[in-house]
Structure 1
Amino acid sequence: MRQPRAVVIGAGMGGLTAAVALHRQGWHVTVLERAATLEPVGAGISLAPNSQRSLDVIGLGDDVRALAAWQGDGGLRAPDGRWLSRTSSEAAARRFGGPLVLLHRATLADLLAGHLPDGTVRTGGAATLADPGAADRPARVTTPDGDIEADLVVAADGINSAARAVLFPTHPGPVYSGFTTWRVVTPAPDRPFAAHETWGRARLWGTHPMKDGRTYAYAAAAAPAGTRAPDDEKAELLRRFGAWHHPVPDILAAAAPGRILRHDVRFMAEPLPAYHRGRVALLGDAAHAMAPTLGQGGNQAIEDAIVLAHHVTPGPGDLSPALAAYTRDRLPRTMDVVRRSARTARLFLLSGAPAVALRDTAIAAVSRFGPGLLLRGFDGIADWEPPVRTYASPTG
């Protein structure tokens, strides 16, 4: 019997996870990536217990957990160093059934790609969705090497998804959030630090250790869309954050200007009518771009991939019921995370001194009476379980 074929457009974290999950279920998978190499554009990615349990389904969860580096205290701080709310890696692991793992995107990409057959991933060529297909005909993807027909197309082509525009041409797509972000990986500072996120007046900074000894830092600030530093982004970060508490100045001193990534943040304010059409399924930022304020963008893409593979058991026939089930499972959950991320963004975007003082006082007061404040914000997100039981499931 003919082996069913799946084409994945985009070799980001969601696309590669989908490729591994579908391959393990018996699909013949081809991954088409526009970039010349598989090395991801980006710095770090935070994998919460929900995505780790998703990766358990394909046997990779423990490989990720072995890369956990955060130990001891952490929490939310003010720019002068005051702790507004404190927690610990142990408390997070107890509450959600696993650690928070911060790793470089390239590390995760290598881990996923290593579980695919040679030749699965094709780089250096743009792929275009020419026909989404239907119950009685395959989908068709155009590549520089010719057209590919597929029983299933997974559109993991990012926030500017061309496939989304083909499926839902009247949808407005993601909108600007009002803030921009910076990301950088540097050597570890000489002095130790506790993992933290720091909120100022319409500004945010985070610093976290990685298992390989380096440090991942990210920043965000309110800014008009499309603006860039008049000199370079390191100078811009020094202007905005150079006087903040340790280790921020040390991180900035160690950062190479050419290695600092800056991107405006857009999110899917209006949900799509569905995450599928014909034989095509959208996942990750292509379906539900979100603000990074809860660190869930990549995690939700990995969840998408596992749930999609769960529903689309390979075999002849119409995929419509399976793809409809994927939309039913994923659209409400992911849009809830989109909205929660946007609400968190509005809190750090407060700029008036009275409003910021009230915010910080309220966070500190609530934290004194309930130390789990930071963790409670992830209830219903980080404790998610995939639709199949896995060997590392806390309930298993």
Structure 2
Amino acid sequence: MTDVTRAVVIGGGIGGLTAAAALHRRGAEVTVLERAGSLQPVGAAISLAPNALRALDVIGLGDRIRALSAWQGDGGLRAPGGRWLSRSSAAAAEKRFGGPLVLLHRATLIDHLAGQLPPHAVRTSAAAHLVDPGEPGDPSRPARIKTPEGELTADLVVAADGIHSAVRRTLFPDHPGPVYTGFTTWRIVIPLPGADFASHETWGRGRLWGTHPLEDGRIYAYAAALAPAGERAPDDERAELLRRYGDWHDPIPAVLAAARPEDVLRHDVHHITEPLPAYHRGRVALLGDAAHAMAPTLGQGGNQAIEDAVTLAHHHDDLAAYTAARLPRTMDIARKAARVARLNLMSSRTGVAVRDTALALLSKAGPALFLRGFDGIADWQPPRGRP
């Protein structure tokens, strides 16, 4: 594949904007096509591990994002009654992985990523359809993308169009695509004046809850529970959360009391269990959920999309090398996320008792032992040098 002078990114989420910023820094003319009317994401936060922060260092944003973050990794796992099952330490995480675990609102990250791009690089309300993936090495056959404003051609197309990626279906029509994980999630971002609590995730039987402070004084809360696909509350989702979590430990009741029904977002979780043949075809590369949607139980979905983006920019002229670098790693992490989901959403009373006892014993052995689950994930380093 020849050097990339014009790149089109389909999807203006975290992965797509990171890829656009990384390619722009390498001198490419970049156009981002976002089908929504704005770049503002659904109201939720994102946890960034040291691997993603090091990837953001590549585009000059790592330290700026670290400074904006609120949660620095202190907290741990609790039982619904409030008992601490294990404690995590920011100092131990930073020592082990060379950086903190941090949390910020997705909109904040999106704003900073978009700020790395030249004016008018992002087009909203711009649905895109891949007409031809193109042929690497053949200047007469660039990739072709249909948009409402006409057809675009590109040396490289970055498909960051999410879990239900139309580009993925075009490139690999025989792939089964994402499947339901068996659990649904709720997310809330609200002010909670006077709240004073340690960041925590609480594991019950077949359900979990997490509460974390954000830098601007709001809190981010999320929940997950085993449920049939497509199930919804008969009244509203805040009422559903009250039924499921209203008797759990503080500050969960306070969060639910402060939330309005319209503050609660609910989504079923899907993931890709069968690996794609490749993360590229022709002049097109898939990244993020379009390539390897995973359960959120390791907090690595967005982190892996950021890794994808800087790795793709590094291998912009050799997409086979991009696939080789990313496909085994991301599918290994996706499989691990699925195993963790089975653990933290365990529904057997006996199994939960054994799990909680093991977590407590693990915590007594030291926070570094618990952090071993992120070895090979959070210690990732971006590719170095110019290919």
TM-score by length of 1: 0.94
8 Å contact from structure 2 (residues 346, 352) kept in 1? yes
| Aligned residue in 2 for 1:223 | 227
Runs (4 or more) in structure 1 with deviation over 3 Å come to none
8 Å contact from structure 2 (residues 159, 290) kept in 1? yes
Greater mean alpha carbon deviation, residues 39-48 or residues 275-284: 39-48
The reply on whether 1:10 has 2:6 as its aligned counterpart is: no
8 Å contact from structure 1 (residues 57, 388) kept in 2? no
The reply on whether 1:365 has 2:366 as its aligned counterpart is: no
| Aligned residue in 1 for 2:347 | 351
Map 1:72-221 → 2, pairs under 5 A: 73-135=74-136, 136=138, 137-221=141-225
1:237 to 224, 235, 241: 241
Per the alignment, do residues 72 and 326 of structure 1 end up closer, same or farther by CA in structure 2, a change over 3 Å counting? closer
SS of match in other structure, 2:212 = strand
| Aligned residue in 1 for 2:266 | 262
| Aligned residue in 2 for 1:340 | 336
8 Å contact from structure 2 (residues 205, 349) kept in 1? yes
SS of match in other structure, 1:265 = strand
SS of match in other structure, 2:224 = strand
Q: 1:144: Cα distance to partner?
A: 0.6
8 Å contact from structure 2 (residues 13, 41) kept in 1? yes
| Aligned residue in 2 for 1:379 | 375
8 Å contact from structure 1 (residues 67, 101) kept in 2? no
Equivalences, count = 382
1:248 to 241, 247, 252: 252
One-letter amino acid matched to 1:300: Q
Q: Using the alignment, how far apart are the partners of 2:311 and 2:233 within structure 1?
A: 41
Spell out, residue by residue over 1:193-215, the C-alpha distance to the aligned partner (whole angstroms, 9 max, x if none): 01111100010111111111111
One-letter amino acid matched to 2:330: T
The reply on whether 1:288 has 2:289 as its aligned counterpart is: no
8 Å contact from structure 2 (residues 69, 103) kept in 1? yes
8 Å contact from structure 1 (residues 187, 213) kept in 2? yes
8 Å contact from structure 1 (residues 188, 209) kept in 2? no
TM-score by length of 2: 0.96
SS of match in other structure, 1:30 = strand
Greater mean alpha carbon deviation, residues 4-13 or residues 371-380: 371-380
Per the alignment, do residues 277 and 223 of structure 1 end up closer, same or farther by CA in structure 2, a change over 3 Å counting? same
Q: What is the RMSD of the two structures over their aligned residues, measured on CA atoms?
A: 1.6
Q: Using the alignment, how far apart are the partners of 1:191 and 1:10 within structure 2?
A: 36
8 Å contact from structure 1 (residues 22, 29) kept in 2? yes
Per the alignment, do residues 72 and 334 of structure 1 end up closer, same or farther by CA in structure 2, a change over 3 Å counting? closer
Map 1:382-393 → 2, pairs under 5 A: 382-388=378-384
8 Å contact from structure 2 (residues 130, 145) kept in 1? yes
One-letter amino acid matched to 1:387: P
| Aligned residue in 2 for 1:25 | 26
One-letter amino acid matched to 1:270: E
Per the alignment, do residues 170 and 348 of structure 1 end up closer, same or farther by CA in structure 2, a change over 3 Å counting? same
Structure 1 stretches lacking a partner, 5+ long: 313-318, 391-396
2:302 to 289, 295, 298: 298
SS of match in other structure, 1:23 = helix
Greater mean alpha carbon deviation, residues 67-76 or residues 29-38: 67-76
The reply on whether 1:326 has 2:322 as its aligned counterpart is: yes
Q: 1:224: Cα distance to partner?
A: 0.3
Q: Using the alignment, how far apart are the partners of 1:27 and 1:267 within structure 2?
A: 32
Q: 1:70: Cα distance to partner?
A: 2.2
Q: Using the alignment, how far apart are the partners of 1:3 and 1:212 within structure 2?
A: 39
Q: Using the alignment, how far apart are the partners of 1:373 and 1:255 within structure 2?
A: 36
Structure 2 stretches lacking a partner, 5+ long: none
Per the alignment, do residues 326 and 69 of structure 1 end up closer, same or farther by CA in structure 2, a change over 3 Å counting? same
Per the alignment, do residues 384 and 328 of structure 1 end up closer, same or farther by CA in structure 2, a change over 3 Å counting? same
SS of match in other structure, 1:206 = strand
Q: 1:53: Cα distance to partner?
A: 0.2
8 Å contact from structure 1 (residues 133, 139) kept in 2? yes
| Aligned residue in 2 for 1:316 | none
Q: 1:71: Cα distance to partner?
A: 4.8
